[in-house]
Every structure is written in structure tokens, then in C-alpha cells.
Amino acid sequence: MEFSMDIEFKTEASLRFSTFFQDKFELEADEDRNLEFDNMKGDGVVTYYEERNSHFVGTTSLTHDSKSSFILKEVVIEDVSFLEQTSKKVPK
């Protein structure tokens, strides 16, 4: 037997992303962001981590076996959006 459910949840997600060096100063000047520098490659790419309040929407599929157990078969995230949040930076 298989079951499918719509899922929706809000959580704080840790994002890791890369950008070009010329965007580094603009990103770090934004008071509403809490970026953590990870590394910079020789090709001019800068990598950051950032915690963001996020909203996920999707579906999940479960199967039910003969032992009355549910087994997670698949999770599909169809949409992710970032929620408004206040700055986490400590004032200087």
C-alpha cells in the first residue's frame, strides 16, 4: 500500500552559496544578512554560509509493509521561499 501526503513546513535552513569576488563587498555591507565567509578560490569565486528562515512546500510518499511499518519512499520539495527576517548582526 502506498500513501502520498502534501507537506509544508517552516524552518531555519543553512545555505551554502558562491558568488563572484566583485559581489563580496555588496553582500557583506547588507545589514540584514548574517553571512559567514567560507573560502575564496583562485578563480575569483567566494563561498558563504547563511542561516535563513525558509518555507518549504512539497509532497512525500510512504509505503506500508505487512509488518505495520511505514517506509519513506520519496520526498519532493516543489517550492522554497525565504521569509522576512531581522538582522542577526550585532550592532557595532
Cα separation, 37 vs 14, whole angstroms: 13
Instruction: Categorize the per-residue pLDDT at 54 as very low, low, confident or very high, splitting at 50, 70 and 90.
Output: very high
Q: How confident is the model at residue 42 (pLDDT cuts 50, 70, 90)?
A: confident
89 pLDDT band, cuts 50/70/90, is low
Instruction: Share the mean pLDDT of the chain.
Output: 85
Note whether 20 and 43 are within 8 A (CB). Answer: no
Per-residue pLDDT reduced to its tens digit, 20-41 = 888 888 888 888 788 888 888 7
Please say if the pLDDT value at position 70 is more than 80: yes
Give 37's strand partners.
48
pLDDT higher than 60, residue 59: yes
